[in-house]
Amino acid sequence: MNRRLSMLVAVLAAIFCTPPFARAWGCKGHQTVALIAEKHLTPEARQFVEKLLGENPIDPKLKRWCGNATPDVMVDASTWPDDVRNERRNGPWHYIDIPRGKHKGSLEEYCGADGCVTRAIEEQRIILKDKSADPLKRAEAIRYLIHFVGDMHQPLHAINNGDNGGNCVPVKYLHHEPLPNPQHPEREDYSPNLHQIWDTEIVERDMEVSNPHRYADELDEKFRAQSASWVAADIHVENWAWEVHELAEAEVYDAFSARIPVEPDVKPKGCSDNNHIGKRMFEKHLVADEAYQTRAAKAAETGLAKAGVRLAMILNDAAKTHP
């Protein structure tokens, strides 16, 4: 292949080889959450976590999307649930579809038969605290918790507007126009889309020349004063989900100059469902410009910092030696 052609192939591969309904912070976001949490662990919890993870390692044959070059077991753990997502069939554990326009109440009705992120967090906490449980299951519980507490603080993991958590909302991001999948334009799934920029692009642009280690240091410093109040509010997973849901309304959907109406409460299988949600949203020509990026980065930074502190609270609680 000539160079221009191979470059084009590489660019298209980068755009379309990400799973169509990616539902997670990107690698660097999850790693940042783990690194912030490490700063807030009690010595007892650090030892507890390192022992369980160290003695029950991840299968070395597993293909790791984010690479496996890190010696830090919590950083390594942070992206594992996405790697086993298909074989374990636990995709719905990564988010909760609270319909846009809802403001309070029990989350149980939004957590389907296949589960959701708030229930998964509570279930994994129970396994982790059970001293008689299989150590491998307890190590996996730590890995799930590191990942899911991160995921639930990505605003589009706690809201749905008939658009697959924003996966069916094409947006122009900075100077990148949304393009349909060239092989399957009839599917109406575009890139960039709203979910994708919140998973990865907004955070990674905000990171600039930094890396997850430096970024975690910076965010921990920046939010140090506020983090005391997060700790004082104690562990209330449902409250956290509502808080993220409200943030998604204000900072994700309402932050566009074009209005995005509240859609019917449906979960389309693809973006051509819900009366062509993908095409209808494309026609709104939504633009996430520099102003949107600046505002979104602020919300994303707060989410990552809160996730790190709250994850440490959960691990510290689980590590407490009960008499």
CB-wise, 94 or 280, nearer to Zn ion? 94
CB-wise, 24 or 219, nearer to Zn ion? 24
Q: Minimum distance from CB of 178 to Zn ion (Å)? A: 23
Q: Minimum distance from CB of 152 to Zn ion (Å)? A: 9
Pairing of strands 287-288, 172-173: parallel
Q: CB–CB of 278/168 below 8 Å?
A: yes
Q: How far is CA 36 from the centre of its chain?
A: 15
Strands (E), the chain: 172-173, 179-180, 190-191, 287-288
User: Is residue 306 at the binding interface for Zn ion, with CB under 5 A as the rule?
Assistant: no
Q: Minimum distance from CB of 161 to Zn ion (Å)? A: 20
Q: Minimum distance from CB of 25 to Zn ion (Å)? A: 7
State the number of binding residues for Zn ion (CB under 5 A).
4
User: Is residue 28 at the binding interface for Zn ion, with CB under 5 A as the rule?
Assistant: no
Q: How far is CA 321 from the centre of its chain?
A: 31
User: Is residue 94 at the binding interface for Zn ion, with CB under 5 A as the rule?
Assistant: yes
Distance separating alpha carbons of residues 163 and 158, to the nearest angstrom: 13
- What is the chain's Cα-based Rg? 19
User: Is residue 220 at the binding interface for Zn ion, with CB under 5 A as the rule?
Assistant: no
From 81-89, 217-225, 270-278, 290-298, give the range in contact with Zn ion by CB under 5 A.
Answer: 81-89
Of the candidates 113, 152, 121, 177, the one whose C-alpha atom is nearest the C-alpha of residue 241 is 152
Q: How far is CA 97 from the centre of its chain?
A: 13
Q: Minimum distance from CB of 258 to Zn ion (Å)? A: 29
User: Is residue 249 at the binding interface for Zn ion, with CB under 5 A as the rule?
Assistant: no
Q: Minimum distance from CB of 63 to Zn ion (Å)? A: 16
CB-wise, 62 or 291, nearer to Zn ion? 62
The closest residue (CB) to Zn ion is 24
Q: Minimum distance from CB of 208 to Zn ion (Å)? A: 24
Of the candidates 278, 257, 274, 256, the one whose C-alpha atom is nearest the C-alpha of residue 265 is 274
Tell me the HSE value of 62 on the side-chain side, using a 13 A CA sphere. Answer: 20
Residue with tokens 């298909």: 86
CB-wise, 87 or 290, nearer to Zn ion? 87
User: Is residue 36 at the binding interface for Zn ion, with CB under 5 A as the rule?
Assistant: no
From 55-63, 88-96, 231-239, 246-254, give the range in contact with Zn ion by CB under 5 A.
Answer: 88-96
CB-wise, 94 or 195, nearer to Zn ion? 94
CB-wise, 151 or 163, nearer to Zn ion? 151
Give 277-280 contacts, CB < 8 A, sequence gap 24+.
Answer: 277/162, 277/163, 277/168, 277/188, 278/168, 278/170, 278/187, 278/188, 278/189, 278/190, 279/188
Distance separating alpha carbons of residues 171 and 166, to the nearest angstrom: 10
Helix (H) or strand (E) holding 124: helix 117-129
Compose the 138-157 pattern: x for residues touching Zn ion by CB under 5 A, - for all others: -------------x------
From 18-26, 103-111, 112-120, 305-313, give the range in contact with Zn ion by CB under 5 A.
Answer: 18-26
User: Is residue 24 at the binding interface for Zn ion, with CB under 5 A as the rule?
Assistant: yes
Q: Minimum distance from CB of 22 to Zn ion (Å)? A: 8
For residue 215 the two structure tokens come to: 């970024």
Distance separating alpha carbons of residues 215 and 274, to the nearest angstrom: 39
CB-wise, 120 or 299, nearer to Zn ion? 120
Q: Minimum distance from CB of 79 to Zn ion (Å)? A: 8
Binding footprint of Zn ion on the chain (CB under 5 A):
24, 82, 94, 151
